[in-house]
Structure 1
């Protein structure tokens, strides 16, 4: 009789321990349903899209709320909403980069339709800034430039003959 009680107690403790371990393990989360995908493949896994968004936000030095709005009722990001014009601009820029990579760099796509390798991406122009400025290069003097005191390209400066 005594052995049966010890076995029952041990089995009970073991079962409680197993339940505790199972409860403390991270539960497999259901991936959110992706809607309103206009430039990404419809079957893109959430983790791939999420990683791509992380790369884009780092390339522009912004956070999610730069392109996405917050739902005031749920206080969560509404990623499906097209309320911000920046989201549509991001789509257009993505298509532009894809065209450049296909035409000039022969970029291939994977089974999902995502570009596998690219030579041009968001960071190429943005360098971590949301609105990169178009800059005109400074005029160089010295080797390859006009001689000192001589006229520059296009003739002498205004007011000189």
Structure 2
């Protein structure tokens, strides 16, 4: 079955949530695992929007925590498909904190995740190619194949 290409913007997903005390540690900043769960969820949605199939997470790499998010701040996430291989998709996620009283925003985390699309029998299936449009999307697209080969090499080393 032929899959028409899709633009990056067709997968773009945005999510905002408020950070409450149960979401935080003894320093009153959000648990890293909570941020990672948000990242995996929004990346999954972006991947499914791109291929309109069930997907599974294959890897999460380049997950960098850059700044904390405090109780009472908003966590803002943005995700989109940056590149595809045959059955896999690389999804970029950007996480920001937002002080809702001052409007100050800070970049707090970035991550690349890889998802595989599944057919109705749960087997990997082909996904549409992705078309980058903005300068940022084009830059990520140009470097994605290199990230793909680094992930592939890392996985091969862990198997042996």
TM-score scaled by length of structure 2: 0.22
Structure label with greater radius of gyration: 1
Higher helix share: 1
Higher strand share: 2
Highest RCO, 1 vs 2 (Cα 8 Å, sep ≥ 6): 2
